[in-house]
Amino acid sequence: MPYYTSSTQLPSETPKSSTAEAAYAPTERVASISATNHDQAEILARAQAGDHQAFAQLYSIHKKHVYSICLRMVGSIAEAEDLTQEAFLQFHRKIDTFRAESALSTWLHRLTINVVLMHLRKKGLQLNSLDEIMQPASDQRPGRSFGARDLTLSGAIDRLALQRAIKELPAGYRLVFVLHDIEGFDHNEIASLLDCSIGNSKSQLHKARLKLRASLRNHPQQEGHK
Amino acid sequence: MRESANNLTCTEFQAQIPELIGSGEQIGNHPHLRSCRLCRALLADLDAIAQAARQLFPVEEPPDALWDHIESAIVKEEATSDLR
């Protein structure tokens, strides 16, 4: 029997109607935002038992984390929204299988990354063929990219310029870069996640960094500021 | 491309960088770097990029409407599973 109504109000969202407002008093909303691990365990137990409001609370607690991972990995808002939805649907389907040996956030992190990877595979991303498809342009090849200026980027990297450069990376480069340098996976894990060799993961990461470097050098630091 | 103290050219050294970095070795001690200012600069840049990236992305908030879509999808899924 479906236990969801058509308008389960999110605890930490601004209520959309007086009915919803009545359903979640302000104190409850505040409590959900600052949920401790103990609280989260209790919320999770209730969600696993079929409590729809508890699942909505879990969404409120973890939505930013999940959405941010999706956005970093695909670089598109529309895709990130779809993938966030899919991640939470899978979370809902599999919530009974979660056991407290690991933190829920870690489990959800892994689940989200798998959802994104599945999506990218469906789109036809073949990591093993990326080397052929995305050979860096001649001006990005290491041997020629740094002879003109003896300038390191250290301490001078503009956040917005780097963010934009990452967004503009070819999909395969961005994926490995985000997984390794931002999400903190090691090459063994990336190789396993992407079903590629460890050497391929290392190579993609290096090329991604080289491409970012070239991109940052081509765009003056001030460009990110208006 | 210049020759280095251990006879590796920059191109040869740079071809080894992914493996050297990925293996967790102290690449800074590599003999080539002692004599090659350009490769030291390259590595400093790559390291700076990796460091900056770790602190880069703000946590983003999904649009409010997303929960409505998720909730609708869950309702549909549960209705379908009840019919089976």
Q: What is the pLDDT of residues A58-94, one digit of tens each?
A: 999 999 999 999 998 888 899 999 999 999 999 999 9
Q: Letter for the amino acid at B46?
A: L
More confident residue, A174 or B83: A174
Domain span at B37: 10-83
Instruction: Mark whether A31 and A85 lie in a shared domain.
Output: yes
Asked if the structure places residue A95 within a domain, the reply is yes
Q: What percentage of chain A carries pLDDT values higher than 70?
A: 65
**How distant is the Cα of A96 from the closest Cα of chain B, in angstroms?**
15
What are the backbone angles phi and psi of residue A191, rounded to the nearest 5°?
-60, -40
Asked if the structure places residue B45 within a domain, the reply is yes
Check B45 against A181: CB less than 8 A apart. Answer: no
CA dihedral B44, B46, B47, B48 (to 10 degrees): 80
Domain span at A168: 137-224
Instruction: Mark whether A101 and A143 lie in a shared domain.
Output: no
Mean pLDDT computed over every residue of chain A = 74
Global ipTM: 0.74
- Degrees, nearest 5: CA angle A144-A149-A155: 115
Asked if the structure places residue B3 within a domain, the reply is no
Instruction: Mark whether A107 and A144 lie in a shared domain.
Output: no
Instruction: Mark whether A153 and A186 lie in a shared domain.
Output: yes
pLDDT in tens, A173-210: 999 999 999 888 889 888 888 888 999 999 999 999 99
The conformation of residue A25, written as its DSSP 8-state character, comes to: -
Q: Is A125 on the interface with B (CB under 8 A)?
A: no
Check B42 against A84: CB less than 8 A apart. Answer: no
The conformation of residue A179, written as its DSSP 8-state character, comes to: I
Instruction: Mark whether A177 and A96 lie in a shared domain.
Output: no
**How distant is the Cα of B48 from the closest Cα of chain A, in angstroms?**
5
- For residue A2, is pLDDT > 60? no
Total domains in the fold of chain B: 1
Residues of chain B with Cβ-Cβ distance to A216 below 8 Å are 49
Check B41 against A150: CB less than 8 A apart. Answer: yes
- Alpha-carbon distances, residue B73 vs A77, A115, B63 (angstroms): 20, 16, 16
Total domains in the fold of chain A: 2
Identify the domain boundary among A91, A122, A153.
A122
Plot region of A102 (φ>0 → left; ψ -120 to 50 → alpha; else → beta): beta
Residues of chain B with Cβ-Cβ distance to A8 below 8 Å are 71
Check B18 against A212: CB less than 8 A apart. Answer: no
Asked if the structure places residue B78 within a domain, the reply is yes
Query: In 3D, which of A12, A46, A162 has the Cα closest to residue B56?
Result: A162
- For residue A224, is pLDDT > 90? no
Q: Is A216 on the interface with B (CB under 8 A)?
A: yes
pTM beyond cutoff 0.90: no
Instruction: Mark whether A115 and A161 lie in a shared domain.
Output: no
